[in-house]
Amino acid sequence: MLLRGSAYGLLLLLILFQPLKYLEPPKLQIFVIKRQLNMRIPRFYIEQSLQVGLRVDLPKDIHRHAIQVLRLKVNDVLILFNGEGGEYLTTLATVKKRHSSVNIISYEEVDRESPLEITLALAMIKADKMDFALQKAVEMGVDTIQPLDTKRSVVRLKANRIDKKIAHWDGVMRAACEQSGRTHIPQLHVPTT
């Protein structure tokens, strides 16, 4: 067997010399090894209460990303969080064409949040730049974001578009939380002057 790189060598050593007998399914052993090697396990934000031992149906957007983009299969490991401060280790239980479900195996209390309470007042800027600013603010650990409609702002939101824009910004912040490992979604206020 040809090994490439130190990560594969370390993986082999972990398997040969430190068998993980306390976890039965082999996929969970791989999860522990991936955690030890700091390998990426897919994380998704889900807007429902989660509890160990439950089977949860994945929303359509998460199903599409997990199955069609990442090509996860039954028994693959993924992490769900719901913004309440912890992560749930899950395995894919069923995969169908239009929906999939996961079994919640364990809960881990994770504290990756900044001890500081940071509020960012951000003047509204053009679409792509605003998305980028929100993404970076979330990654830096901001707790509250207050968009401002300033005198010299180029962007002026009409009343009928505010809800749509806030929903879009909320999606950007959720994606940033998934990527950065945060477990709380920052609070986003309605734009004000």
Instruction: Say what the pLDDT of residue 137 is.
Output: 93
* Nearest Cα to Cα of residue 26 among 17, 15, 35, 37: 15
* Nearest Cα to Cα of residue 25 among 72, 120, 92: 92
Higher-pLDDT residue of 35 and 143 is 143
The H or E element spanning position 119 is strand 119-123
| Whole-Å CA distances, 159 to 10, 68, 70, 130, 156 | 57, 37, 38, 18, 10
Instruction: Say what the pLDDT of residue 23 is.
Output: 47
Assigned CATH class of 5-109: mainly beta
176: confidence class by pLDDT, cuts 50, 70, 90: very high
pTM of the model: 0.70
Instruction: Say what the pLDDT of residue 34 is.
Output: 54
Domain positions in the chain: 5-109, 119-188
Instruction: Say what the pLDDT of residue 125 is.
Output: 87
| 3-state secondary structure (DSSP) of residue 51 | coil
Whether the per-residue pLDDT at 39 is higher than 80: the answer is: no
In tens, the pLDDT along 117-145 reads: 999 998 888 878 999 999 999 999 899 99
Instruction: Say what the pLDDT of residue 162 is.
Output: 84
d(CA 152, CA 49): 42
d(CA 184, CA 16): 38
Q: What is the mean pLDDT of residues 184-191?
A: 89
Whether the per-residue pLDDT at 11 is higher than 90: the answer is: no
Instruction: Say what the pLDDT of residue 158 is.
Output: 79
Classify domain 119-188 at the CATH topology level.
Answer: Alpha/beta knot (3.40.1280)
| Whole-Å CA distances, 82 to 20, 56, 79, 85, 174 | 29, 13, 10, 8, 10
Instruction: Say what the pLDDT of residue 153 is.
Output: 80
